[in-house]
Amino acid sequence: MAFLVDQAYGYLAHSHAEDRLAHAYLITGPEGTGKAALALRMIALTNGIHAEALESVRDESVQLIRPESRSRRITIDQIRELERKLHLSGSAAKTKIGVIRDADRLQEKSENAFLKTLEEPPPRTLLLLLTSQPEQLLDTIRSRCISVTLYSPGLHQPNFSQAFQQFLRAIGTTLSDQKRSLSRALVLARTFTTLLKEEKEVLLQENDSALKEEISRYGETTDGDWLKRRETFFKDRTESEYVHRRTTMLEGLLSFLGDALRLQAGYQRLDFKDFGELAHAIASQLPPSELNTRFAALEDLRRHLETTVQDALAIEVGFIKAFA
User: Strand, helix or coil at 304?
Assistant: helix
User: What whole-number distance in Å separates Cα of residue 146 and Cα of residue 15?
Assistant: 12
User: What whole-number distance in Å separates Cα of residue 132 and Cα of residue 323?
Assistant: 28
Q: Specify the DSSP class assigned to residue 309.
A: S
pLDDT tens digits, 96-123: 999 999 898 888 889 999 998 899 888 8
Report the pLDDT value the prediction gives residue 153, as an integer from 0 to 100.
61
Least confident of 32-41, 102-111, 120-129, 175-184: 175-184
Instruction: State mean pLDDT over 302-307.
Output: 81
Confidence check: pLDDT of 315 > 90? yes
Confidence check: pLDDT of 307 > 50? yes
At 158, the pLDDT band (50, 70, 90 cuts) reads very low
Report the pLDDT value the prediction gives residue 181, as an integer from 0 to 100.
84
pTM over 0.75: no
Type of residue numbered 265: A
- 86 within 8 A of 98, measured Cβ to Cβ: yes
- 264 within 8 A of 283, measured Cβ to Cβ: yes
Report the pLDDT value the prediction gives residue 136, as an integer from 0 to 100.
75
Confidence check: pLDDT of 301 > 60? yes
Report the pLDDT value the prediction gives residue 311, as an integer from 0 to 100.
92
Confidence check: pLDDT of 155 > 60? no
Report the pLDDT value the prediction gives residue 36, as an integer from 0 to 100.
95
CA distances from 152 to 35, 116, 135, 166, 184 (A): 11, 33, 20, 22, 32
pLDDT tens digits, 70-83: 567 888 999 999 99
User: What whole-number distance in Å separates Cα of residue 234 and Cα of residue 46?
Assistant: 42
Report the pLDDT value the prediction gives residue 186, as an integer from 0 to 100.
94
Instruction: State mean pLDDT over 151-163.
Output: 64
Instruction: State mean pLDDT over 213-217.
Output: 81
CA distances from 311 to 189, 271, 297, 301 (A): 11, 26, 15, 10
At 200, the pLDDT band (50, 70, 90 cuts) reads very high
Type of residue numbered 143: S
Report the pLDDT value the prediction gives residue 17, as an integer from 0 to 100.
94
- 136 within 8 A of 104, measured Cβ to Cβ: yes
Determine which helix (DSSP H) or strand (DSSP E) holds 183, and give its type and residue range.
helix 182-218
Cα 217 from chain centroid? 36
User: What whole-number distance in Å separates Cα of residue 89 and Cα of residue 322?
Assistant: 50
- By percentage, how much of the chain surpasses pLDDT 70? 93
Q: Specify the DSSP class assigned to residue 106.
A: B
Least confident of 262-271, 272-281, 305-314: 262-271
Report the pLDDT value the prediction gives residue 73, as an integer from 0 to 100.
81
Report the pLDDT value the prediction gives residue 45, as an integer from 0 to 100.
96
Which residues make Cβ contacts (< 8 Å) with residue 136, sequence separation at least 6? 104, 240, 243
Neighbours of 144 (CB within 10 A): 20
- 168 within 8 A of 252, measured Cβ to Cβ: yes
For residue 149, give the nearest of 287, 271, 43 by alpha carbon.
271
Per-residue burial over 100-120, b if 16 or more Cβ lie within 10 Å, else e, is bbbbbbbbeebbebbeebbee
Confidence check: pLDDT of 178 > 60? yes
Of 31-45, 168-182, 218-232, the range with the highest mean pLDDT is 31-45
At 222, the pLDDT band (50, 70, 90 cuts) reads low
Report the pLDDT value the prediction gives residue 159, as an integer from 0 to 100.
59
Q: Which domains does the chain have, with CATH numbers?
A: 5-149 (3.40.50.300), 157-323 (no CATH)
Least confident of 11-20, 27-36, 42-51, 236-245: 236-245
For residue 102, give the nearest of 136, 125, 126 by alpha carbon.
136
The angle subtended at Cα 172 by Cα 166 and Cα 177, nearest 5°, is 125
At 299, the pLDDT band (50, 70, 90 cuts) reads confident
